[in-house]
């Protein structure tokens, strides 16, 4: 009986330390982290829908989440005004953001904002009945690619910076 009470107390403590995740969720995250760390040789932290991978050289990549990135390379591009962010991958050298529920006029406004933000060098445009793609660099050597699917109302934003 005493062991059962101690076990229940340990589960309650673990639950409170993991922001009210169920014990099975917390254990699953830790097991997954361990497997990924052993396979990759990198430090892995899983926190809900976000995975942070820290390389041995100090690089860090954050995968997942539905918040517009405010750090790393994600801070170098303007935030779209409307739509639902469904996926983010962000590091010091690359950023990819997937946004759904973006209307045609909202995409066009965002494209204007990207251009005003200086992404106009080495411009490449492509368009067909459903897909519009825009690629350009800014003066700091950061490149961006916007791909908009008007039928699905989805926008893919990819930003890259050459390592120095």
Q: Give the three-state DSSP class for 135.
A: strand
pLDDT > 70 in the chain, percent: 80
pLDDT in tens, 23-67: 666 767 777 677 767 777 778 787 777 777 887 887 877 777 889
Give yes or no for residue 163 having a pLDDT over 80.
Answer: no
| Residue that wins the pLDDT comparison between 51 and 142 | 142
Report residue 1's pLDDT band, with 50, 70 and 90 as the boundaries. very low
Where residue 164 falls among pLDDT bands split at 50, 70, 90? low
Please tell me whether residue 35 adopts helix, strand or coil conformation: helix
Reading the block at residue 94, the tokens are: 């690359």
| Nearest partner of 103 among 83, 131, 85, judged by Cα | 83
Tokens 């829908």 — which residue?
A: 49
Q: Could you tell me how many helices (H) and strands (E) the chain has, helices first?
A: 3, 9
Give the pLDDT confidence score for residue 44 in this predicted structure. Answer: 78
**What is the average per-residue pLDDT within 98-121?**
97
- Residue 34: CB partners within 8 Å, gap ≥ 6? none
pLDDT over threshold 90, residue 10? no
Among 58-62, 89-93, 127-131, 148-152, name the one with the lowest average pLDDT: 58-62
Is 60 exceeded by the pLDDT of residue 3? no
Ordered domains of the chain (ranges, CATH): 1-55 (no CATH), 59-164 (3.40.1000)
Length of the chain: 164
Can you tell me the distance from the alpha carbon of 64 to that of 87, in angstroms, rounded to the nearest whole number? Answer: 5
Q: Residues 79, 99: contact at Cβ < 8 Å?
A: no
**Residue-averaged pLDDT of the chain:** 82
> Which pLDDT belongs to residue 138?
95
pTM score: 0.73
User: In the prediction, which pLDDT does 5 show?
Assistant: 41
* Residue 81 phi, psi dihedral angles, 5° rounding: -70, -35
Question: Distance (Å, rounded) from C-alpha 164 to C-alpha 161?
Answer: 9
Q: What is the mean pLDDT of residues 60-84?
A: 89
Return the pLDDT at 120. 97
């Amino acid at each position: 009986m005493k062991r059962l009470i101690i076990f229940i107390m340990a589960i309650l403590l673990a639950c409170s330390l993991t922001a009210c995740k169920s014990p099975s969720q917390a254990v699953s995250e830790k097991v997954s982290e361990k497997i990924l760390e052993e396979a990759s040789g990198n430090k892995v932290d899983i926190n809900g829908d976000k995975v942070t991978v820290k390389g041995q050289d100090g690089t860090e990549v954050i995968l997942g989440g539905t918040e517009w990135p405010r750090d790393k390379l994600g801070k170098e591009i303007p935030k779209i005004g409307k739509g639902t962010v469904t996926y983010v991958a962000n590091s010091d050298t690359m950023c990819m953001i997937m946004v759904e529920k973006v209307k045609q006029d909202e995409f066009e406004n965002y494209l204007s904002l990207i251009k005003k933000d200086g992404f106009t060098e080495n411009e490449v445009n492509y368009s067909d009945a459903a897909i519009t793609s825009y690629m350009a660099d800014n003066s700091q050597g950061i490149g961006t690619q916007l791909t908009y699917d008007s039928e699905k109302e989805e926008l893919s934003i990819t930003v890259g910076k050459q390592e120095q």
